Amino acid sequence: MRGLFAVIIWTGLLAAAFYAQTVVRPAWAGVISLAGWPALVAALVGFWAVVAVFAHREWRRHTDLLESIPIRIHVDGSRGKTGTCRLVGAALAANGMRVLVKTTGKIPALIDASGRDSVINRSGLHAANLREQKDIIALAAEQHAQAIVIECMAVDPELRRVSERSMIRATIAVITNVRRDHLEVIGPDLGTAARNLAEVIPQGGTVVTAEERLLPVIRKEAERRGARIVSVDPHTVSDGILDSFPYITFRENVALAIAVSDLLGLDRNRSVQGMLHSTPDFGTVRLFERTNDAGPYTVVCALGVNDVDSLTALQAELMRRGKVNGGPLVGLFNSRDDRAVRSLEFARAMGRDLDFGSVIVTGRHTKAFVRAAVRNGFPRERLSPMESASPREILEALDALTPAGGTAFACGNMVTDAGYGIVEELSGRGPVGRHAGS
């Protein structure tokens, strides 16, 4: 009886320490002298046996739920993940499939199997966590979904591996592209970034990608996993299709969605029609016409575009499609305090790759951005730091700087109070759900 009592004492203490960390160090010596080391060993074995049983049951339940959903699509990449998820989901739904789509873009969102689009609210106590994917799988199974389309929410390579191998176990992976973003985590170079993004490729499955420069790296990673690779050509998507969308989208995203639809043997025309009726993400590139004292000008709200290569590509694409003219360019860069590397890359590019006549810098650490831009040749008098300004004050400054017929590009980071506020002010919308995202 005394031995059983000792085991119970140890099991309770271990449980308390494990869950609440409430057992203080001075108390251990007294408890050991009371219960003894043999009881401690027995309690340890019993405690971890219980944990193992519960863990196995949870893993088995999650596996059963996954296997009840025959099509599982895991979308990763540097740019365009959220838009691609929405397009793929719309294509599948247009072909009569029950599909659940979950994105983690500038505002995390869920499109359930009935087509209802809602924001995923995360309080401070429930920040973004990989466990969220498990709950989404359970919901998809509950709604008898035939397919799920899930945006990878991991940045860290190890977490990305866990996301695929334990949470999603995709039948099809999508890698949109590889850009110079998050290289401080998945780099340091693009080749390493490509290999880390390839962690979402399922063993023996299929990966679809629009990446061109680093296609050999992705192909090699696919071969290592015994996976089939499908390389899409974005140029097969005509301007006619792009111009039919009620919002700005890009060839890469549409080509990837069509390729997934074709892989699944779906009707391509229905897929395209479904995509044309899809709803854009909050962070989608949008164009706004504004008028100042000099006349009308265009604001390209591209705060979700947060690497230099993607911004220059966006500028070229919008000019090619006649969405903006070749008039004077003004930049609005929103800086985020936990993305210092990203901000410095943009600052260095100001005097080298980006042809802005003047630049407004908002958000956090604007002085550091200004110093880096000046060191790289951008004139100080053409930089306007506005760290503490409100969204309305920022747009009034933009009105004062942008000439009639010109274009202002807002870029860098959306996930800050200033970033969300600028979008809300431009669109005339009230506050929306916000989170700490990419």
Identify the pLDDT of residue 258.
98
Stated pTM of the model: 0.83
Q: What integer pLDDT is reported at residue 107 of this predicted model?
A: 83
How much helix, strand and coil, in percent to the nearest 5, is found in the chain? 50, 15, 35
pLDDT in tens, 217-276: 999 999 999 999 999 999 999 999 999 999 999 999 999 999 999 999 999 999 999 999
Strands 206-209 and 172-175: parallel
**Number of residues in the chain:** 438
Q: Peptide bond before 280: cis, by omega within 30 degrees of 0? A: no
Residue type, 207: V
Smallest CA-to-CA distance from 281 within 428, 85, 135 is with 85
* Alpha carbon separation from 281 to 102, 103, 110, 161, 226 (Å, rounded): 11, 9, 11, 26, 34
Asked if residues 340 and 368 have their Cβ atoms less than 8 Å apart, the reply is yes
pLDDT band at 37 (very low <50, low <70, confident <90, very high): low
From the list 74, 92, 89, the residue with the least C-alpha distance to 151 is: 74
pLDDT value at 51 more than 80: no
Question: What pLDDT shows up at residue 318?
Answer: 92
pLDDT tens per residue, range 312-330: 889 999 999 999 887 789 9
By mean pLDDT, which of 38-52, 158-172, 199-213 is the weakest?
38-52
Q: Two tokens at 315? A: 């500028």
Tell me the mean pLDDT in the region 179-207: 92
What does the pLDDT read at residue 358? Answer: 94
Contacts within 8 Å (CB) and 24+ apart, 234-240 = 234/210, 239/321
Strands 172-175 and 147-151: unpaired
Cα 200 to Cα 168, 184, 205, 284, 326, distances in angstroms: 9, 19, 10, 24, 40
C-alpha distances in Å from residue 191, one per residue of 97, 122, 160, 168, 183:
37, 34, 17, 25, 10
Please give the mean pLDDT across all residues of the chain: 85
Helix 2-19 to helix 37-67 angle (10° resolution) is 50
* Distance set, CA 88 to CA 17, 219, 241, 242 (Å): 46, 22, 16, 15
Q: What is the pLDDT of residue 45?
A: 67
The 10s digit of each residue's pLDDT in 164-176 is 998 999 999 999 9
Please tell me the predicted confidence (pLDDT) of residue 381: 95
